[in-house]
Amino acid sequence: MSRIAFPRIALFVFASTLMLHAQAGQQPPRPPDDRIGNRLGASAAADPAAIERGRTLYASACAFCHGGDARGAQGPDLARSLYVTSDDGGRVLGEFLKTGRPANGMPPFPMLTAGDVSDLSAFLKTRVAAALKAPRSACNAVTHRLRKASACGFRSL
């Protein structure tokens, strides 16, 4: 590299960096992303009637496996499930519930209407918000690890 090329390259890099910083300062601030709040609980208040309908549906169809508070029992913790936390009005959850996961013991629920799934999603979002306020207990974490280990074929830890 010649002596003349190096200063030109350095000047180009320096000028490019200055231009990028100047452009970054001129962009208007982005509005907060509501989807993040919805994934982590619910930034917008859900309809209390929908939450109550979802609670009733959950108690009759889900609680026996996932526990009364959706924190897990025989089935996994739904308050920390990606299907629940990334759900938006029942779209993600509905697709999963229609097919289930029979190989893992999760039956399909093809009879659920879109309204049922939306209500269930609204209720489960309240469980996500509660889980964020109350960290997983040590006992629940150990149970989760044991369940994972047995699912992977390990007999004991």
- pLDDT band at 83; cut points 50, 70, 90: confident
pLDDT in tens, 115-126: 999 999 999 998
Is residue 37 assigned to a domain? no
pLDDT of residue 91: 87
Is residue 64 assigned to a domain? yes
Is residue 41 assigned to a domain? no
The two structure tokens encoding residue 92: 């993600």
Is residue 132 assigned to a domain? yes
Is residue 105 assigned to a domain? yes
Is residue 124 assigned to a domain? yes
Q: What is the CATH number of the domain that holds 89?
A: 1.10.760.10
Check whether 149 has a pLDDT greater than 60. no
For the whole model, what pTM was predicted? 0.59
Is residue 36 assigned to a domain? no
| Helix (H), strand (E), coil (C) string for the chain | CCCCHHHHHHHHHHHHHHHHHHHHHHCCCCCCCHHHHHHCCCCCCCCHHHHHHHHHHHHHHCHHHHCCCCCCCCCCCHHHCHHHHCCCCCHHHHHHHHHCEHHHCECCCCCCCHHHHHHHHHHHHHHHHHHHHCCCCHHHHHHHHHHHHHHCCCCCC
pLDDT in tens, 23-53: 555 544 444 444 434 445 444 567 899 999 9
pLDDT of residue 92: 87
Confirm if 57 and 119 have CB atoms less than 8 A apart. Answer: yes
For range 101-117, the mean pLDDT? 92
Is residue 23 assigned to a domain? no
CA distance between the termini of the chain: 61
pLDDT, averaged across the chain: 74
Number of domains in the chain: 1
Domain that holds residue 77: 47-151
